[in-house]
């Protein structure tokens, strides 16, 4: 079984003092300064967390495994680029525009959003799969809580997301290789599922800028590029919204992008992957359908041909 008991403690992941000491030794003071900032009120809220019943019992990767090596093309196409350049991003103040098919549209300050979800914020220790695999202790809250506060209309069938577009701070957006800003989308039932969260932190720290600060989506049964970073806009729609990778290469990246070892990428097999932290020669391990969360989410896709709707 992959679920963890509901009384998950910090000690079940990494003690805070050990985590901070390790960071200071390895990264030094400059590494600490590079972490994202979302304001004093949000920082204080990071202490009000409890374990999610959906957390995996697997060991979490270290902060150093997760934060310096990722995709965030707004800061460059190399995986180390976001950690090198994301410090330029201004994340405080931050707001999210919520609109479309909702009865309570508006521009919501992140600080106000976090005040509303104080009692619901949790540690979600999720498995994540891209070209590599990792277990990440996200700090966040269910996306469904925010959608419910916007009071969706009955005609809303999809949720669209949009990343910040600020080329002066996100120099990768000056490239014409991508249609900026980055956009993504979920079906409404996917967005409302309790496994779908908005993350504001990692371990007991604020979310680093290179990992999508100050607010990013996390959908653990889908490939990593679905988990859009630095969100500034959420729109409820009746029609399927565009998704950046699906727009660029529809033959390789479908709208759903569920982790599925039975469906190969046209240029490589997705039947196995490498755990992060072991380098290029790490032993590959079998990929689990829906990333191992099939018990929770497979019913969302009952009757669908997942080879065509990939």
pLDDT 10s digits, 108-166: 999 999 887 754 568 899 999 866 789 999 999 999 999 999 999 999 999 999 999 99
pLDDT 10s digits, 206-245: 999 999 999 999 999 999 999 999 999 999 999 999 999 9
- pLDDT of residue 49 exceeding 70, the answer is no
**What pLDDT sits at residue 132?**
79
**Secondary structure (3-state) at 185:** strand
**What pLDDT sits at residue 116?**
79
Tokens 């490939």, residue located? 223
Beta strands in 56-157 (DSSP E): 95-100, 106-109, 122-129, 132-142
- pLDDT of residue 22 exceeding 80, the answer is no
How far apart, in whole angstroms, are the C-alpha atoms of residue 69 and residue 162? 22
**What pLDDT sits at residue 186?**
98
- pLDDT of residue 70 exceeding 80, the answer is yes
**What pLDDT sits at residue 120?**
53
Helix (H) or strand (E) holding 88: none
pTM: 0.85
Q: Where are the domains of the chain?
A: 10-301
- Bridge partners of 62, per DSSP, are none
- Bridge partners of 286, per DSSP, are 272
> What's the CATH fold of domain 10-301?
Sulfite Oxidase; Chain A, domain 2 (3.90.420)
**What pLDDT sits at residue 106?**
96
How far apart, in whole angstroms, are the C-alpha atoms of residue 310 and residue 304? 10
């Amino acid at each position: 079984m992959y679920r963890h008991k509901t009384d998950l403690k910090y000690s079940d992941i990494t003690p805070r003092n050990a985590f901070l000491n390790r960071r200071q030794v390895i990264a030094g003071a400059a590494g600490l300064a590079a972490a994202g900032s979302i304001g004093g009120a949000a920082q204080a809220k990071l202490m009000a967390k409890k374990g999610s019943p959906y957390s995996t019992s697997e060991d979490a990767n270290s902060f150093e495994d997760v934060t310096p090596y990722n995709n965030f093309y707004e800061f460059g196409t190399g995986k180390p680029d976001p950690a090198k350049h994301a410090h330029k991003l201004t994340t405080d103040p931050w707001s999210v525009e919520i609109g479309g098919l909702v009865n309570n549209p508006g521009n919501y300050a992140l600080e106000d959003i976090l005040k509303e979800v104080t009692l619901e914020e949790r540690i979600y220790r999720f498995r994540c799969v891209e070209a590599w695999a990792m277990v990440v202790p996200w700090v966040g809250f269910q996306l469904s809580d925010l959608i419910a506060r916007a009071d969706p209309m009955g005609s809303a069938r999809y949720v669209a997301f949009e990343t910040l577009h600020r080329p002066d701070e996100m120099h990768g957006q000056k490239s014409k290789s991508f249609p900026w800003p980055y956009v993504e989308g979920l079906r409404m039932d996917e967005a409302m599922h309790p496994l779908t969260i908005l993350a504001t932190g990692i371990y007991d720290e604020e979310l680093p800028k290179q990992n999508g600060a100050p607010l990013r989506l996390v959908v653990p049964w889908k490939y990593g590029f679905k988990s859009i970073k630095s969100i500034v806009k959420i729109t409820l729609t009746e029609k399927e919204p565009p998704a950046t990778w699906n727009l660029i290469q529809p033959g390789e990246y479908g709208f759903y992008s569920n982790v599925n070892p039975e469906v190969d990428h046209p240029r490589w097999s997705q039947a196995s992957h490498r755990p992060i932290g072991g380098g290029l020669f790490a032993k590959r391990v079998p990929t689990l359908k829906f990333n191992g969360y099939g018990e929770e989410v497979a019913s969302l896709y009952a009757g669908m041909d997942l080879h065509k709707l990939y």
